[in-house]
Amino acid sequence: MNIDILLFPILLPLIFAVMGLFLKSKKLINYWAVLGSAAVLYCAYVLFGIKQASLVLPWLGHGIDFDLKLYGFNAAILLWVNIFTFLVVLYSTIKMETSTRIKEYYLYVFLTVMFANGSVLADNFVLFLFFWGGLLITLYMLIMLGNLNSYKTALKSLILLGLCDFCLLLGVVLLWKISGSLKISAISLEAQGLAMISFLLIMIGAIGKAGAMPFHNWIPDAAIDAPVTVMAFLPASLEKLLGIYLLTRISLDVFHFQMNSPVSIVLMTVGAITIVFAVMMALIQKDFKRLLSYHAVSQVGYMILGIGTGTPLGIVGGIFHMLNHAIYKTGLFLSSGSVELAAGTTEMKKLGGLMKSMPVTGLCFSVCALSISGVWPFNGFVSKEMIFHGSYETGYLIFTIAAWVGAIFTFASFLKAGHSIFFGAKSTEIPEVKENSWPVLVPMIILSAFCILFGVYSILPLKLFILPALSGHPEVLAELTFTHNLSLLNPIALISMGCLVIAFGLHYLGVKKGQGKAYLASEPVHNLPIIKTIYNLAENRVFDFYEQGVKLIKLLSKVIYYTVDRPIDFVYERVVTVTGRIVIFILRVLHNGRFANYLSWSLAGLMALGYVMGTLIKKAG
């Protein structure tokens, strides 16, 4: 049998997933999983080398085909998806060792990979939805692997992402109606009128997957409830890759929009809001994982902002930021997992001075943290600069300012996290800790290395992975030459460096106010008059889209139930029977069994008959 190579990234994980169920020993399963993810990674690598391929099989009819297409950009995404999978699996061999449900875990991981690979490769929207939606289930199941309460969070993620997916579905269908085609690479439209609605709906699907506001609420909850590897795997890396991948495709290929068109403004607004609000939330978190998860949301804002600018620089920056973010955020989550594994907790209050006993973890954390904060020369700096420049070009300074504000608080919060966990005084609340074994460290080291590599040689990832996304957009390519000699000394870069200084200042002030306790560094901001009330509301989940949505749905349901459904039932149960009973009662009273009564009816009937007959005959003539 001749199986097309494009099917390999989909079928291989499936085979590994199913076969894994039959393995008995835990050790074997771990080896099997590493082997599997390595195999899929290799496969993705080969495909990355091929660059161009396609496969069309008949499927459902009506233009819904099993259509896979490989080109430069999605080959890169495919490669990165599998790199992250491999690293996370490697890491999991230790981190998940204690879990009793390891078999299930790998099953879901492999299924996730399958769906992710499938949706990256799909060139038909229905096929794409098929794989894309499958991720909902695996995400749900993966979160369910966490602690006892994780099912609530799992449901939250399912409902929120389900909402996004349904929007996406509607958008796709609308697009189908407008363009008459479902082939992603064949559609090319102006984002106007109905097409704009379609774009916005698909966009909700994309940014929802990536975790932008207001579809982000499950991520911080999952950070507490779900295993940390799951966080590193899905919200930190895969989902960002996929979400931004989709956003890129619809923004660049499927729809066209001009700089500062309504669509562009919408995107940028969503991005800016996400950046600012999420980072504000991140700032005050006292749990390492929760803090990271808010950053995972906040950083999406940059990507959306970048792509939303509609300027070549911004778009490239957004995509580049997606890749960078996946790298350092995975690294950060893995380091938090490493801390958790060693110390048993991720609460900043209980931790402190781990640098000595866990130098590798600490170092990797530092690299990634500097990266995310956009410190030169790490990769985060390059992509953020591109986004700043891009947004500045649009002329809407407000978005650039929002991005800068984000940068300030990002750095501040990581200063706080690093200070309280790895530096500062040693904590007495936890027992002596040791550095973890190599499968935990290697992924973090690799990721940190990428951070540095992509920062110093930013041209490398740009050429290898990002440029293919822009194939067919010559005007963009022309301007890109500008990017890799981005001068360090331009006004925008200086302002963003200024931001870092402000952040440092804030941190210093905070620590001083908190009597040297680093985890209280964010309190001054937290306690600012108006902001404090907003924070309190946020803590009470007033801004939680899910909680409020659920309340609304419950209310709406109750209203419909008691105003439509029950009244209808009332008609059957009461109105009909009671009316019947009343009529029957009247008739029964009339039939009282008296002979005279009955006789009179008969005679009256006769008279009436005679009269009626008479008139009728007269009428008939």
- Residues 544 to 563 in contact with other proteins, rule: CB under 8 A: 550, 553-554, 556-561
Beta-bridge partner residues of 57: 66
Q: For other proteins, what does the binding mask look like between residues 281 and 320, x meaning CB under 8 A?
A: ----------------------------------------
Q: Is 100 in the site for other proteins (CB under 8 A)?
A: no
Distance CA 249, CA 199 (A): 11
CB atoms within 10 A of CB 46: 14
In the bound state with other proteins, the residue whose beta carbon lies nearer, of 149 and 437, is 149
Report the residue number, 516 or 610, with the smaller CB distance to other proteins.
610
Residue (79 or 102) nearer to other proteins, CB: 102
In the complex, what is the shortest distance from the CB of residue 251 to other proteins, in angstroms, rounded to a whole number? 22
Task: State which of residues 569, 574, 575, 578 lies at the interface with other proteins (CB under 8 A).
Answer: 569
* Residues in contact with 400: Cβ distance below 8 Å, sequence separation at least 6, in sequence order: 388, 391, 392, 492
Stretch of 70-78, 344-352, 460-468, 599-607 lying at the interface with other proteins (CB under 8 A): 599-607
The least distance separating other proteins from the CB of residue 130, rounded to whole angstroms, comes to: 4
The C-alpha torsion from 37 through 41 and 44 to 46, rounded to 10°, is -130
User: What is the distance in angstroms between the CA of the first residue and the CA of the last residue of the chain?
Assistant: 93
**Which listed residue (5, 564, 575, 578) binds other proteins by CB under 8 A?**
564
Among 48, 71, 131, 333, binds other proteins (CB under 8 A): 131
Residue 375 binds other proteins (CB under 8 A): no
Q: What angle do CA 124, 83, 164 make, to 5 degrees?
A: 45
7 binds other proteins (CB under 8 A): no
Classify residue 616 as exposed, middle or buried by CB count within 10 Å of its CB (0-12, 13-18, 19+). Answer: exposed
| 581 lines the binding site for other proteins (CB under 8 A) | yes
Residue of 137, 127, 121 lying closest to 17 (CA atoms):
137
Sign of the torsion angle spanned by Cα atoms 374, 379, 380, 383: positive
- Smallest distance from other proteins to CB 200, Å: 13
Side-chain half-sphere exposure of 158, counting CA atoms within 13 A: 15
Kindly tell me which of 398 and 575 has the beta carbon lying closer to other proteins: 575
Between residue 150 and residue 209, which ones bind other proteins under the rule CB under 8 A?
151-152, 155, 158-159, 162-163, 165-167, 169-170, 173-174, 176-177
d(CA 466, CA 453): 15
Q: Which of 50, 437, 565, 578 binds other proteins (CB under 8 A)?
A: 565
Q: Toward other proteins, which CB reaches closer, 344 or 605? A: 605
Minimum CB distance to other proteins, residue 606 (Å) = 4
Does position 137 interact with other proteins (CB under 8 A)? The reply is: yes
Query: Cβ 3 to other proteins, closest distance in Å?
Result: 16
Alpha-carbon span 584 to 587, nearest angstrom: 5
**Residue 375's closest CA among 510, 498, 279?**
498
Q: Which CB, 51 or 152, lies closer to other proteins?
A: 152
Footprint (CB under 8 A) of other proteins, residues 39-98: 58-62
**CA distance readout (Å), 340 to 223, 420, 424, 448:** 12, 15, 18, 19
- The Cα 150–Cα 477 span in angstroms is 46
Choices 25-33, 320-328, 461-469, 594-602; region in contact with other proteins by CB under 8 A:
594-602
Answer whether 279's CB lies under 8 Å from 295's CB.
yes
Q: How many CA atoms lie within 13 A of 383 on its CB side?
A: 36
The residue (of 482 and 561) whose beta carbon lies closer to other proteins is 561
Select 438 or 598, whichever has its Cβ closest to other proteins: 598
Which residues partner with 67 through β-bridges? 56
Q: Which is nearer to other proteins, 159 or 456 (CB)?
A: 159
The values of phi and psi at residue 335, to 5°, are: -70, -35
Please state the closest distance from residue 210 (CB atom) to other proteins, in A: 19
Taking the least distance from each CB to other proteins, the nearer of 530 and 620 is 620
Between β-strands 53-61 and 64-70, what pairing exists: parallel, antiparallel or unpaired?
antiparallel
Q: Is the CB of 539 or the CB of 569 nearer to other proteins?
A: 569
How many Å separate Cα 108 from the centre of its chain? 17
Residues binding other proteins: number (CB under 8 A) = 72
Q: Which is nearer to other proteins, 130 or 504 (CB)?
A: 130
Q: Which stretch binds other proteins (CB under 8 A): 129-137, 247-255, 310-318, 363-371?
A: 129-137
Shortest distance, position 12 Cβ to other proteins, whole Å: 16
CA distance 619 to 123: 81
Smallest distance, other proteins to C-beta of residue 155, A: 5
Q: Residue 574 interacts with other proteins (CB under 8 A)?
A: no
Q: Provide, rounded to whole angstroms, the least separation between the CB of residue 415 and other proteins.
A: 40
Q: Does 595 bind other proteins (CB under 8 A)?
A: yes
Give yes or no for a contact between 394 and 383, defined as CB atoms under 8 angstroms apart.
no
Is residue 431 within the footprint of other proteins (CB under 8 A)? no
User: By C-beta, is 191 or 520 nearer to other proteins?
Assistant: 191
Q: Pick the stretch among 271-279, 418-426, 502-510, 567-575 that binds other proteins (CB under 8 A).
A: 567-575
Six token digits for residue 206: 């994309």
15 part of the interface to other proteins, by CB under 8 A: no
H-state helical runs in 457-572: 459-461, 474-480, 491-513, 523-526, 529-539, 545-560, 566-570
Q: Closest approach of Cβ 129 to other proteins, in Å?
A: 7
| Contact between 18 and other proteins per CB under 8 A | no
- Provide, rounded to whole angstroms, the least separation between the CB of residue 357 and other proteins: 39
Rounded Cα–Cα distance for residues 348 and 586 (Å): 80
Among 128, 314, 332, smallest CA distance to 228 is for: 332
| Residue 181: CB minimum distance to other proteins, A | 13
User: By CB under 8 A, is residue 512 in contact with other proteins?
Assistant: no
Q: Measured from the CB atom, is 428 or 563 closer to other proteins?
A: 563
DSSP characters for 350-393?
A: T---TTTT-HHHHHHHHHHHHHHHT-TTSHHHHHHHHHHHHHHH
